[in-house]
Amino acid sequence: MGTSKSATLAAPEHSTEHIRRLAAGTLMPGFSGIAVPVWILDAYDAGLAAVCLYGTNVASPVQLRDLCAGLRAHSPHTLIAVDEEGGDVTRLHYLTGSPQPGNAVLGRLDDVTLTATSAATIGQELASLGINLNLAPDADVNSEADNPVIGVRSFGAEPDLVARHTAAWIRGLEDSGVASCAKHFPGHGSTTSDSHHELPRVSADAATLEARELVPFRALVEAKGATVMTSHILVDALDPENPATFSSRILQGLLREELGFDGVILTDALDMAGASADTGVPEAAVRALQAGADLLCVGSDTGPELYEQTLAAITEAVAEGRLSLERLADAAARVAGLSARFPAAGAAEIHQATPRGISSKPGRPALDSAEADATLDAGRIREAFEVSAAAENWLAREEPVAIVQVDTGANFAVGQVPWGPAAATDAVVGEGEVPDGAKVAVVGRGLDGDHPLWTVFSRLRAEGHAVIAVECGWPRGGADIVTYGASLGVSQALCGLLLGSH
């Protein structure tokens, strides 16, 4: 199937065959569907470095295990990556929600041992599937409350807190045998737009960046984290012309030379508008390599045509002298070194493993599921909640409880994962189903002034109900309870509080 490895490796150093193999050694595509497509297997035979799994690749625990085992059987020594941050961003638990609390809850508890344990639990689960690269932790300092893409993915708004938990998360994950990827360098936390849809701009001056955005990434270097992910943002004080992913000033000058990072530089997905809306993915790949990136995340639905176009663009750039062969070879060698540093379990071990936290049970998990958070019990998670005096009074009232969850969209990073009380209990009702005399918790996330939750809240209060508003995201003001996350583990803890089973 495809070109044999021995024939390709024997190709002369400057041959097109050799250059294409080096180029393939820098690419990490995704793919559509729940089975490994033939074109991915052919690409592996021709030198493909890695593949990234997404939520749409997951249909069941057994299917996921078989998918990973199939990839490992065909290519035992390459990288299988996934975005498993814990909390709201999960791929392994895309169908139910993550049992882990997520970064914002961990940051509020501010216990680095708990953070490392949460990361280790995730790492053990990934390793049992043969996944050896996790695109986490998020090391952004969420200094902008209205940030549409970071929010509860961050450990917090205070740089030193984010730094110590970033380092702890990296240690916990990598001690489990899975490579980490701190993101989104040089810092996406102060943006008010989402790089999935446009190119955000950071206008903070150099002193602010040094004191805020760069602090967690210095901690990453000190912790010897394996990889860093670039962000598709313009940072005026560092390079006003090129987004970070395409900036040699940022990737080489700042990250490599000033901060001393010697690991693999990995791009955020190149199919995002902030990276390729103007140029297309193939040219974005060339620009990222030129700037100093080593491993290129192509995107979730790459497909054979786009993969070939990207491979051809890199090969042509070397032939034209736009991209040096030395730079390409360095990138491919760094990626190969990462694979060697984090070897994965073989296909046989994967088939025998029972990943922690992945439930084979159909349907919604029970509120008191034994497969809930392996790191924190519900009581400890609730210590991270903000509960107002009005909410305390509501909790003390004797009326029966009704929970109304208002539909709220999520950013692309989170996707369509079950969230909030609706993911954790059957006790959620529609607005029109609230019984007379019930006290009501109205639940949403991203509760800005225009959120539809407030209309539901006002109507229920006008009907005479005692009503509180619950924010399952980063606080933006006005909510009576703030949970700092909407994962299954956090939502179970919230339901215990609201329903009085705590």
Q: Which of 83, 88, 140, 268 is catalytic?
A: 268
Encoded tokens for 115: 């953070």
Q: Where are the alpha helices (DSSP H) in 130-280?
A: 159-174, 206-211, 215-222, 248, 273-276
**Cα gap 361→420, rounded to integer Å:** 20
Query: What is the Cα gyration radius of the chain?
Result: 23
- Sheet containing 227-230: order of strands: 181-185, 227-230, 264-266
Q: How many CB atoms lie within 10 A of CB 458?
A: 12
> Would you call 268 a catalytic residue per the annotation?
yes
In order of 106, 120, 146, 404, 413, the CA distances from 90 in angstroms are 16, 15, 22, 24, 9
Task: Map residue 386 onto helix, strand or coil.
Answer: strand
Identify which of 13, 103, 1 has the alpha carbon closest to the alpha carbon of residue 332: 13
Q: Of 163, 263, 170, 177, which Cα lies nearest the Cα of 213?
A: 163
What are the tokens at 296? 């290129």
DSSP sequence for 482-497: E-S--SHHHHHHHHHH
Cis (ω within 30 of 0) for the bond into 184? yes
CB-hemisphere CA count at 13 Å for 450?
A: 1
8 Å CB contact between 476 and 501: no
- State both tokens at 361: 């049970």
Amino acid at residue number 128: S
Instruction: Show which residues are catalytic.
Output: 268
